[in-house]
Chain A
Amino acid sequence: MNWPAFWLSLQVTAVASVIILVVGLAFALLLVRVRFPLKILVETAIMLPLVLPPSVIGYYLLLAFGRGSPLFEWFNIRILFTWQAAVAASVVVGLPLMVQSSRAALANVDPLLENAARTLGASEVRIFWRITLPLAQRGILAGMILGSARALGEFGATLMITGNIPGRTQTLPVAIYDAVQAQRYADAHLMVLVMTVLAFAGLLLARQLEPPTLGKRTRQPAEASI
């Protein structure tokens, strides 16, 4: 068992999860609440990592963070071949799942309840925190868990942009690949088992959160009756 890889994976996943939650929720809100031109293109672009080959994602990340990129030259962000690069790769692949799930959950909150809150004197910010978010929380949580599980399992792009440095940038999935290459099968067995258990637990949790039971009862299309 490669413990440094295990702990690094947890660290990468934890940081990525927080970013996925915040950024994903922002995107979901944007897509549910704001009307803007070419929205469908933005939606599609967010979903793209679900279907692109990992090498393509890795290549884009190399472009984004490499020498000559705005992030590198202007903002002095130099994360390639560090563990932060693994976080970046994890965020990109985990985000679509978060956006999808939390977007559905937010859209599922009955606008009637938000309207009722408005007539009761609540500001939009208060409505979001007291009504919308609590009613959508299961879907949002499920999305975050799915995104985190996907982040934990990220392999291809991570391999390309972290350089696979044992003890520094080598995450668990990459370590498994290494172990198999070196024919250390006992090592690989254990790590595969750990990965499977973690992924299984994550999916199970997400599935249990998935069907939101709150907020659906009074659902009716807004302004259905004139």
Chain B
Amino acid sequence: MSPRLHVNFIKRLESVTLQMNFAIDTEILVLFGPSGAGKTQTLQAIAGLSTPDSGSITLDDTTFFQRVAGKPLINLPARKRRIGYVFQQYALFPHMSALENVAFPLAGRRNARDRAMELLERMHLAHLAHRMPHELSGGQQQRVAVARALATEPRVLLFDESFSALDRPIRERLHEEIRALQAERQLIVIYVTHNLDDAFAVGHRLAVVRDGRIEQIGRIDDVFTRPANQQVLNILGIPNAINARVVETGPSGALLDWNGITLEAPPIDAPRGAQVVAYIRPGDIRLIYPDHPLRPVVGSNHLEGVVVERRPERHVHCLRVALPDGRRIEAVYPASSYTTMNLTPGESVRLALRKESIVVIAVHQGAPHSDASRSDSRPERNPVSMSPS
């Protein structure tokens, strides 16, 4: 299937210049990135609420926007684009009931009220149809907003941090609804968030946005296992990024020198002496019981350090370990593992990392010393997929 929504535009803002270029199929794409990166502006440009400086935005055979040299200017007004937009602040009309809100886009059509009622039923809100927005909870208001956005029968649905103000259980239920709606109505969905849990819960693909550009776009697990560059690592909050030098490389693997620590890594397509940026997947790090011999985990790298902090999360624990020279490593393991181990801060601990847990994400060719410190030698930007022709 070829992608349906093509977004390719430039817009200069005060703080950042947006240079967006991506394409979406019938799927849920998550735009993820720090605030100020340009996510909301991108949605607004697609919806027609703001006008890019140049570029084009097309959906199937419809051109929403076009300002390209040599072609006529096209800028379809927002009301004619039929794009559902669900705002973070709900944006329900406060002087209309839930039903009137949903019926608003249906005005003038036959059976507007019946249609609106069906949509409220679809969002499990029929019993609250006559409440005013201020009489509804946040989650209920957002369901009304979704129902209202669906009333125009949009092909594209945009969520702008729509659920970030809601409690986790409510958010999770809404995510299920969104996935169901997307499949049921074959929608193109763009979901903006700065919460990674949300991204995993709802998205098919992930676009990492930074400084008005997409650093990487791909299937969520691919982005996580193969981040394109250091910026993506930082934005995704992936710990354990390391700068290392290739000592040896061959078909069965490579040896990296990480400031004095030698690590076995998978084969690398880089010459000896090259500087590489890599990261150690936190979930692949094993802890070794103190009385345990190292033999069974042979083939792995071994590190020794001291526990700095253990942070329980919902299903996993995060363990931060300081190596003797002060460098930190973060390990993530299931909450049910290592329960008999003493992992209070200050305890020494041994770590084992399989060589597959080391992922090289960028190679700096050339002299070992020059590149790593220069700020402008950013790793190659991963080309954004599927640029419109």
Contact = CB atoms under 8 A, between A and B. Distances in A.
Interface of A: 110, 112-113, 115-123, 126, 130-131, 134-135, 214-215, 217-218, 220, 223, 225-226
Give the residue among A115, A120, A135, A217 with the most B Cβ atoms within 10 A. Answer: A120
Interface in B193-227: none
B217 to A, nearest CB: 19
A134 B96 CA distance: 10
Interface of B: 13, 15-16, 35-41, 44, 47-50, 77-85, 87-95, 104-105, 107, 133-134, 148-149, 151-152, 161
B120 to A, nearest CB: 15
A125 to B, nearest CB: 11
A117 B105 CA distance: 8
A135 B107 CA distance: 19
Given A119-B83, A226-B38, A131 B93 contact: yes
Given A116-B85, A120-B152, A121-B79, A226 B91 contact: no
Shortest Cβ-Cβ A-B pairs, 10 listed? A120-B105, A118-B78, A116-B91, A119-B85, A121-B79, A218-B89, A112-B91, A134-B95, A121-B105, A226-B41
Nearest to B79: A121
Contact of B92 (A122, A123, A126, A218): A218
Contacts of B133: 217
A225 B40 contact: yes
A118 B95 contact: no
A225 B192 CA distance: 12
A113 B40 CA distance: 16
Contact of A116 (B16, B35, B48, B87): B87
A112 B48 contact: no
A138 B133 CA distance: 19
A214 B94 contact: yes
Nearest to A118: B78
Nearest to A116: B91
Contact of B35 (A110, A217, A226): A226
